[in-house]
Amino acid sequence: MKVSLSILTADFSDFKNSVGEVMKASDYVHMDIMDGEFVPNISIGPAFVKSLRKLTDKPFDTHLMIRHPQNYIKEFVDAGSQYITFHIEADCNAKEVIDLIHSYGIKAGISIKPKTPVKVIEELLPYLDMVLIMSVEPGFGGQKFMPNSIEKAKRLKELKEEFGYNYLINIDGGINDKTLPQVKDYLDLAVSGSFVCNAEDQIANLKKLQEM
């Protein structure tokens, strides 16, 4: 399994020592961007993402949990993102935002919150490079995995195979060595934050997921 490392729960006072090595061992680095409106939390912005570019050349999988993603695409492209994912529940024209992301020559993803069904994004699937299923309510790391996400992953895999779509199926929230086995058959990659970053041996926990 490919792992996208969420650095949200890392020690921000000493980033290089706290997650520098595990970022290099991960397959992607997942950047959680929160605006205090779309979700009840505020995290990091483009300047911070750009500074992390010095620590790794792994692809940045940027997850925008912001109300107006259309206004910040260029900033996160310039910060070094290879994938930008925004929420279907955001206040924007989703097809226009996908086209905007693609106009910069990078990959576009859509995320769905736990209460949003797959059918809401079905007509956008042909244009997507990634679908990010939220398996917790977005806003905070360290929450419990919601099993209703498993059916969504399964459905996305069925649609992908039936129509020959190209999107990667990704999942975000509460992923660890107990929850990933329940859903891994339907995924291309998985986000993991606290299970890896807050572990005594971060590389060992990352490997546990990568070896599944």
Catalytic positions are 32, 172
Among 26, 30, 83, 180, binds ligand DX5 (CB under 6 A): 30
> Closest approach of Cβ 137 to Zn ion, in Å?
11
Spatial CA neighbour of 106 closest among 88, 128, 124 = 128
Q: Distance (Å, rounded) from C-alpha 209 to C-alpha 30?
A: 15
H/E element, 170? strand 168-172
Pick 26 or 164: Cβ nearer Zn ion? 26
H/E element, 149? helix 148-163
Q: Is 32 in the site for Zn ion (CB under 5 A)?
A: yes
Q: Is 32 in the site for ligand DX5 (CB under 6 A)?
A: yes
Spatial CA neighbour of 113 closest among 148, 141, 81 = 148
* Tokens matching residue 6: 């969420």
Q: In Å, how far are 104, 134, 201 from 81, measured between CA atoms?
A: 10, 20, 27
**By CB under 6 A, what part of segment 113-172 binds ligand DX5?**
136, 138-143, 172
> Closest approach of Cβ 72 to ligand DX5, in Å?
16
> Closest approach of Cβ 191 to Zn ion, in Å?
6
Q: Is 6 in the site for ligand DX5 (CB under 6 A)?
A: yes
Applying CB under 5 A, which residues contact Zn ion? Answer: 32, 63, 172
